[in-house]
């Protein structure tokens, strides 16, 4: 079957096409339009501008696919219905409903967080059939992004439980804010990672709520970091080397917090596998530390380019939603609800 995936939860407009059968997929096309230059001057995503950009980008992305592929052959439209920014989701929803009507197809309602998880199961190779990777359960799943830091226990694809989440900011969100305090661009994660490679010294930073089971809190770390940067600025000592040292210290502290909680969960629930998805999972330091720390587990990360938001993850999740869910959310044209906060994934 052919599945078109559409992503508009935040500031990436994505459309991708896959062919899928017998637990195998072939990536046909993965079209992505980034909006970073639009949001950069605000230091974060402006929802209404994100919506406007999706409105402009989606028809252009679809045209690129249409050049090589007859859209009538598509079987399902997979749409990332949330959690995300409401204006951005609504512009995607209008687009997918319009397309569903035109092509006379059903929509598979995909949860954005599930899509980040399922991205761990594929390679990013275009045009070749690939087997979807298997997971040995029980597994610990961490979705760590600009909007979420959620830790789950999966006993199977159908049996999952949210163990804990952040009580304030998400890990990616504070990385972006701290990068802004350093005068670096948006999104902060990749720039912080690059600067951290040149570090020579580390600053001690707090790890709020580290002992508190599976609950995360990052806002105290953000405040401590921003205060530290302000103090260093007052002393006129915020030179390039100090920016690199601060970047590495932040990256290291975030990795340590995430690893601490994963370790506790993996041991408590006697897990076999660890899956880490979402934008922050692109971080090379986090990947290295996790591999070093959890040698006895099967570790699955998405391909780096698929850690952040894209339409391909949604298409894959569309297929796996059909396979793994006895009641997949197949939606009629005028019946598609979007949601800003999790109200599906976290029932437990
Ligand atoms: O998953 P994503 O694209 O969007 C949400 O669903 O939120 O994640 C975006 C987040 C941003 O905060 C960005 O700074 C962070 O992922 N990120 C990174 C890296 N690449 C993206 N954080 C750390 N290291 C990276 N290499
Ligand atoms: Zn995301």
140-167 residue pLDDT tens: 999 999 999 999 999 999 899 999 999 9
Residue 169 Cβ < 6 Å to ligand 1: no
Q: How confident is the model at residue 329 (pLDDT cuts 50, 70, 90)?
A: confident
Distance from residue 228's CA to the centre of ligand 1 (Å): 23
How many Å apart are CA 19 and CA 127, to the nearest integer?
10
Whole-number Å distance, alpha carbon 114 to ligand 2 midpoint, is: 10
Does 147 sit in the ligand 1 pocket, CB within 6 Å? Answer: yes
Task: Identify whether the C-beta of residue 287 lies closer than 8 Å to the C-beta of residue 299.
Answer: no
Q: Are strands 298-300 and 273-277 parallel, antiparallel or unpaired?
A: parallel
Asked if residue 10 has its Cβ within 6 Å of ligand 1, the reply is yes
DSSP, res 309: -
Report CA(241)–ligand 2 centroid distance (Å). 31
Measured in angstroms, how far is the CA atom of residue 146 from the centroid of ligand 1? 5
Cα-only R_g, the chain:
20
**251 Cβ closer than 6 Å to some ligand 1 atom:** no
Confidence of residue 102 (pLDDT cuts 50, 70, 90): very high
- According to DSSP, the residues that pair with 18 across neighbouring strands are 3, 27
Question: What DSSP string describes 128-164?
Answer: SEEEPPP-PSSEEEEEESSS-EEEEEESSSS-EEEEE
59: which 2 tokens? 């028809």
Distance (Å, whole) CA 79 – CA 98: 12
**Residues 6 or more apart whose Cβ sits within 8 Å of residue 208:** 217, 218, 219, 220, 221
Q: What is the pLDDT of residues 251-287, one digit of tens each?
A: 999 999 999 999 999 999 999 999 999 999 999 999 9
On the question of pLDDT at 347 being above 60, the answer is: no
DSSP state of 11: S
Q: Is 278 in the pocket of ligand 1 (CB under 6 A)?
A: yes
Tens digits of residue pLDDT in 68-101: 999 999 999 999 999 999 999 999 999 999 999 9
For ligand 2, the distance from its centroid to the CA atom of residue 39, given in whole angstroms, is: 16
CA 43 to centroid of ligand 1, rounded, Å: 14
One-letter-per-residue 3-state SS of 92-109: HHHHHHHHHHHHCCEEEE
Q: Which residue from 189, 193, 250, 317 has its CB within 8 A of the most atoms of ligand 1, so it is best to mutate?
A: 189
For ligand 1, atom 13, which residue shows the shortest CA distance? 189
Q: Is the CB of 280 under 6 A from ligand 1?
A: yes
Element (H, E) at 89: helix 86-103
Q: Which residue has the tokens 């999104």?
A: 187
pTM of the full structure? 0.95
CB 188 less than 6 A from any atom of ligand 1: yes
* Number of C-beta neighbours around residue 162 at 10 A: 17
Return the closest-CA partner of residue 208 out of 254, 272, 264. 254
208 lines ligand 1 (CB under 6 A): no
3-state helix, strand, coil in the chain (%, to 5): 45, 20, 35
Q: Is the CB of 84 under 6 A from ligand 1?
A: no
Q: Ligand 2 centroid vs 240 CA: distance in angstroms?
A: 30
> Residue 40: what pLDDT?
84
Q: Residue 345 above 50 pLDDT? A: no
| Cis check: omega of the bond before 138, within 30 degrees of 0 | yes
Phi, psi angle pair for 99, to nearest 5°? -70, -40
- Ramachandran sector of residue 256 (left: φ over 0; alpha: ψ -120 to 50; beta: rest): alpha
């Amino acid at each position: 079957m052919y599945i078109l995936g559409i992503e508009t939860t935040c500031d990436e407009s994505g459309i991708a096409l896959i062919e899928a059968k017998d637990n195998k997929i072939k990536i046909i096309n993965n079209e992505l339009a980034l909006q970073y230059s639009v949001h950069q001057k605000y230091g974060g995503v402006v929802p209404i501008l994100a919506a406007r950009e999706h409105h402009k980008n989606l028809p252009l992305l679809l045209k690129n696919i249409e050049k090589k592929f007859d859209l009538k052959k598509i079987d399902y439209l997979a749409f990332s219905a949330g959690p995300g920014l409401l204006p951005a989701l609504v512009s995607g929803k209008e687009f997918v409903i319009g397309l569903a009507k035109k092509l006379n197809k059903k929509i598979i309602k995909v949860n954005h967080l599930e899509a980040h998880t399922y991205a761990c199961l594929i390679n990013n190779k275009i045009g070749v059939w690939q087997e979807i990777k298997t997971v040995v359960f029980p597994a610990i799943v961490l979705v760590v992004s600009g909007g979420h830091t959620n830790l789950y226990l999966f006993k199977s694809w159908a049996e999952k439980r949210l163990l804990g989440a952040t009580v304030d900011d998400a890990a990616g969100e504070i990385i972006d804010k701290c990068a802004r305090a350093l005068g670096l661009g948006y999104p902060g994660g990749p720039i912080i990672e690059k600067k951290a490679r040149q570090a020579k010294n580390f600053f001690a930073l707090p790890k709020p709520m580290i002992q508190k089971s599976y609950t995360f809190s990052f806002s105290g770390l953000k405040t401590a970091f921003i205060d530290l940067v302000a103090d260093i600025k007052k002393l006129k000592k915020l030179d390039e080397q100090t920016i690199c040292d601060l970047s590495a210290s932040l990256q290291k502290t975030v990795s340590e917090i995430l690893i601490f909680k994963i370790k506790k969960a993996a041991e408590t629930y006697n897990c076999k596998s660890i899956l880490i998805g979402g934008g922050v999972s692109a971080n090379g330091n986090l990947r290295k530390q996790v591999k070093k720390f959890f040698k006895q587990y099967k570790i699955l990360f998405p391909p780096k380019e698929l850690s952040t938001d894209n339409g391909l993850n949604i298409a894959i999740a569309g297929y796996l939603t059909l396979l793994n869910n006895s009641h997949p959310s197949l939606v009629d044209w005028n019946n598609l609800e979007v949601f800003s906060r999790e109200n599906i994934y976290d029932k437990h």
